[in-house]
Structure 1
Amino acid sequence: MARILHLTDLHFGFHRSALEAPLLARIAALRPDLVVVGGDITHRATPGQMRSARAFLDRIEAPMMLMPGNHDVPTWNPVARIFWPFAGFQRHFGPDLTPAARVGDVRVMALNSADPYVWQRGKIRDGEIGRVIGTIDPMGTNIVALHHPLQHLPRVDKVLARRATEALYRLEGAGVHVVLTGHLHRWAVDALLATGRHPRVLQVQTGTALCARVSDMRNEFVLLDIRGTELSLERHVAPMDREGFDAPEISRYSRASGVWRRV
């Protein structure tokens, strides 16, 4: 069994500060084995925002792995953005931009999809797909985490990250079972599975954990409880008009047949 919590799009500097304590309390109560922080940890990548985010993350007792999002590269300093875009992130959140972790028979591998030369659109770098494929555990459950989604639903008006489609096909073929993403501030799991395009990969697009943008309507995170070929998702939602989290919405999935099905 592995309990992996996906926390993404915190946007420190433009976040719901009143939700920090309830979020920390809910995470502590869930006692995850690993917390995956999926990028956009800050809103404008300023030193002050990074320090605030680091102080928040330091209050989480579980092991963590972090990767940058497009908001985690310098916004107002074009020289830094071009020549050392991830220096601030590495100073505050650790030197490894593509960390990996193992919980029991579950392997979690990160991709850095943030492109400092483009404001929103991400990219999958040369060699990154092959690097991940080379570390897949053929006997366990394999999870890839990155900031930008690898598939968009029709209602999404943003452009896919460069090489996203290639990455998804190759990762699925190599034995990746779950992909965790953020960026869109929208929850999507069943709708992606229903497209039928990638039935062997459960794509979990998680909404924003703390961003204060009113149009998002809610903050949220998800806990994955993985037991062999069975997986449950606990979606924890905090509506914008309340300062706490509702009871979790639980959905269960199985890949025992070779493809993912909701059960």
Structure 2
Amino acid sequence: MIRIAHLSDLHFGFHRPDLVEPLLDRVNGAQADLVVVTGDLTHRARASQYAQGAAFLERIQAPLLVIPGNHDVPLYNLPVRFLMPWRGFRHAVGPDLTPVREVGPVRVLSLNSVDPCAVQRGIIRNGEIRRLEGSLDPNGMNIVALHHPLEHLAQVDKELSRRAPQALARLERAGAQIALSGHLHVWATGAMLDQTAHPGLLQVQAGTALCGRLSDRQNEFAVLQIEGTFLTIERHIAPMGRGFNPPEHEYFSRESGVWLAHQPAEKPIVPGATETAFSTA
């Protein structure tokens, strides 16, 4: 049994200070084998925000895999954004923008989907799909972590990352089984499975772990528990103005080679997806 905690979109600098300690308590109490943070550690990539984010990461007791999000490059400091976009992230988190971690039979590979030339829209760079295809473990569980989702719910009004459809199809075909992402501040798992043409790759799209934007209505993170072809997801949800509720559970299996949900699909809260480019997501 492998346990992986998935956090995304912490947005230090525009976060809920009251939720930092409860979040750390929950994450450390989950006894995860790995904690994956899929981007937007900061809100505006300022040094003070990176310092807050780094201090938070240092208190997580499990091994970490952290990748950048679109908010982790400066928005208004254009020379840094275009010439040294990863300077703050590398200083605070580490030099590797596409780390790989292995936990037992599970391999977690990452992809940097941030495009410094765009405010929100991501990009799958030339060669990145091929790199991931060649790095998958043919005998294990393969998880791909990136900030921008590979597919959107029908009601989401943002543009997909460039080359996302090709990446989704090719990674499923190559043997990736799970994709972890964030960016939209909208939780989606079973709802994605209901609409996708690629049920061999389960998309786990996280909500925001700490962002203080009221229209998001809640903060949350998830813990994936992997046992062979079975997956249990614990959702830890904190409504705005409150602490964490008892965890909710979702159950999936892929004995036939494609994912099946063992409960009705969730009804995603989508208001966050309609915010303007210079707001949050």
Sort the TM-score into its range (normalised by shorter chain).
over 0.9
**Post-superposition offset of 1:76:** 2.1
CA distance in 2, matches of 1:251, 1:153: 19
Q: What is the identity percentage for the equivalent residue pairs of Structure 1 and Structure 2?
A: 58
In the TM superposition, 1:124-163 aligns within 5 A as 124-163=124-163
SS in 1 for 2:150: coil
The one-letter amino acid paired with 1:262 is: A
CA distance in 2, matches of 1:30, 1:97: 26
Q: What's the counterpart of residue 25 of structure 1?
A: 25
* Per-residue CA distance 1:100-150 (angstroms, 9 max, x = gap): 001100000000001000000000011111111111011110000000000
CA distance in 2, matches of 1:150, 1:84: 26
Q: What's the counterpart of residue 113 of structure 2?
A: 113
CA distance in 2, matches of 1:146, 1:235: 19
Runs of 5+ unmatched residues, structure 2: 263-281
The one-letter amino acid paired with 2:121 is: R
* TM-score, with structure 1 as normaliser: 0.99
The one-letter amino acid paired with 1:255 is: R
In the TM superposition, 1:44-83 aligns within 5 A as 44-83=44-83
**Post-superposition offset of 1:196:** 4.1
* Per-residue CA distance 1:60-99 (angstroms, 9 max, x = gap): 0100011000000012210011111011111110000000
CA distance in 1, matches of 2:50, 2:129: 29
Q: What's the counterpart of residue 92 of structure 1?
A: 92
User: Is residue 229 from structure 1 mapped to residue 229 from structure 2 by the alignment?
Assistant: yes
Q: What's the counterpart of residue 182 of structure 2?
A: 182
In the TM superposition, 1:149-228 aligns within 5 A as 149-228=149-228
SS in 2 for 1:66: strand
The one-letter amino acid paired with 1:185 is: H
**Post-superposition offset of 1:241:** 2.5
Aligned length: 262
The runs of at least 4 consecutive aligned structure 1 residues that moved more than 3 Å come to none
* TM-score, with structure 2 as normaliser: 0.92
Runs of 5+ unmatched residues, structure 1: none
* Per-residue CA distance 1:135-192 (angstroms, 9 max, x = gap): 1011110000000000011110100000000000000000000000000000001111
User: Is residue 102 from structure 1 mapped to residue 102 from structure 2 by the alignment?
Assistant: yes
